A and B are shown apart, each in its own frame.
Chain A
Amino acid sequence: MTTRALVVALALPAVAVPAFAQRWHTLDASRQLRDTLPVTVRVEYGAGKFELRPGAAPLLYLMHLKYDADRAEPVTRFDSAARTLALGIRSHGLRLSSSDQEGGTLHAELTARAPMALALELGAVEADLQLGGLRLTDLSLKGGAADVTVRFDERNPERLHAMTLDVGAAAVKIRRAGNSGVEQVRANVGAGALDLDLGGGDSAHDVEVSANVAMGNFTLRVPPGVGVSIDATTFLASFDKAGLVKRGDRWNTPNFDAAARKVRVRVRTVLGGFRLARDAR
Chain B
Amino acid sequence: MYASHARAAAFRVAAFALFAGTAPLLAQAPQAPQAPVTRDALERVLGALRASAPDVTLPPADRFSFGDSTIGARARVTGPVAVAGGTLHVRGVVDGDVVTYRGDVVVHEGGDVRGNALTIEGRVTLDGGRVTGDVRALSGDIAPGAGAAASASPQRALLHELTLTAGWLAVLMVVGIGVLVFASSNLGAVSEALERDFGRAFLAGVGAQLALLPALVILCIALALSVLGILLIPFAIVAYLLVAAGLVTLGLLAVASITGRTVLVAADAGERARRMVALRGMLFGLVVLMSPWFVAAALAWSPVGGAVARTVAIGVTWAACTAGLGAALISRGGVRRVSARAAQRALASASWQTPTPVSGVTAGRRPTPMATPGPR
| Interface residues of A, Cβ cutoff 8 Å to B | 1-2, 4-6, 8-10, 12-13, 16-17, 19-21, 23-32, 34, 66, 69-70, 73-78, 92
Cβ of A32 to closest chain B Cβ, rounded Å = 6
B311 interface hit (Cβ, 8 Å): no
Find B170's partner among A9, A19, A29, A32 (CB 8 Å cutoff): A9
- Residues in chain B near residue A8, CB distance under 8 A: 15, 18-19
| Assembly CA distance A20 to B8 (angstroms) | 31
Given the complex of chains A and B, what is the CA–CA distance between A32 and B136 in angstroms?
12
Contact A25 B12 (CB under 8 A): no
B170 touches A25 (CB 8 A): no
In the assembled complex, the CB of A4 is this many whole angstroms from the nearest CB of chain B, namely 7
Set of chain B residues within 8 Å of A78, measured between Cβ atoms? 133-134
Contact with A along B133-171 (1 / 0, CB 8 A): 111111111110000100110001001100110110110
Q: Are the CB atoms of B174 and A24 closer together than 8 Å?
A: no
Q: How far is it, in angstroms, between the C-alpha of A195 and the C-alpha of B7 when the chains are bound?
A: 58
Q: Which residue of A lies closest to B137 (CB)?
A: A28
Complex Cα gap A22–B132 (Å):
33
Nearest first, the 9 A-B pairs at minimum CB distance are A13-B167, A5-B11, A5-B15, A25-B140, A8-B15, A28-B137, A69-B52, A16-B163, A10-B170
- Tell me if B55 counts as interface (CB < 8 A to partner A): yes
B160–A27 CB distance below 8 A: no
Interface residues on B, range: 35 or more
With A12-B19, A76-B134 given, is the CB distance from A6 to B163 under 8 Å?
A: no
Of A20, A23, A26, A77, the contact of B160 (CB 8 Å cutoff): A20
B interface, CB within 8 angstroms of A = 7-8, 11-12, 14-15, 18-19, 22, 26, 29, 52-55, 126, 130-143, 148, 151-152, 156, 159-160, 163-164, 166-167, 169-170, 173-174, 280, 283
13 contacts between A and B (CB under 8 A): A1-B12, A2-B7, A2-B283, A5-B15, A9-B15, A9-B173, A12-B163, A12-B170, A16-B26, A19-B159, A25-B140, A75-B55, A77-B55
A61 to chain B: closest residue by CB? B134
The answer for the CA separation of A69 and B45 in the assembled complex, in Å, is: 13
Q: Among the listed A9, A29, A76, which residue makes an inter-chain contact with B18, where contact means beta carbons less than 8 Å apart?
A: A9
With contacts A9-B15, A31-B133, A70-B52 taken as known, whether A16 is within 8 angstroms of B148 at the C-beta atoms is no
Check A21 against B160 for contact (C-beta < 8 Å): yes
CB distance from B231 to the nearest CB of A (A): 17
**Once the chains are docked, how many angstroms separate the CA of A76 from the CA of B160?**
32
Partner of B26, one of A19, A23, A31, A76: A19
Question: From DSSP, what is the main secondary structure of chain A's interface residues?
Answer: mixed
With a cutoff of 8 Å between Cβ atoms, the chain B residues found around residue A4 in the complex are 15
If A9-B15, A23-B151 touch, whether A32 touches B131 (CB-CB below 8 Å) is yes
| B349 shortest CB reach to chain A, Å | 46
Instruction: Find chain A residues with CB under 8 A from B138 CB.
Output: 25-27
**Interfacial chain A residues near B148, Cβ < 8 Å:** 23, 69-70
Which of B22, B52, B134, B156 is close to A73, meaning CB atoms less than 8 Å apart? B52
Closest A residue by C-beta to B156: A20
Residues of A within 8 A of B137 (CB): 27-29
Query: Of all chain A residues, which has the CB nearest B163?
Result: A16
How far in angstroms is the closest Cβ of chain A from B195?
A: 25
Shortest Cβ distance from A233 into chain B, in angstroms? 25
Query: A30 contacts which chain B residues (CB < 8 A)?
Result: 134-135
- Looking across the interface, which residue of chain A has its beta carbon closest to that of B131? A32
In the complex with contacts A23-B141, A31-B135, A69-B53, A5-B14 CB distance below 8 A: yes
Q: CA separation between A66 and B137, bound complex, in Å?
A: 12
Chain B's closest residue to A27 (CB) is B138
Chain B, residue nearest A86 (CB) = B55
Residues of B close to A69: CB separation below 8 A? 52-53, 140-141, 148
Inter-chain CA distance A30–B283, complex, in Å, is 55
Max count, chain B CB within 10 A of own CB: residue among A13, A30, A31: A13
Alpha-carbon distance between A4 and B142 when the two chains are bound, in angstroms: 38
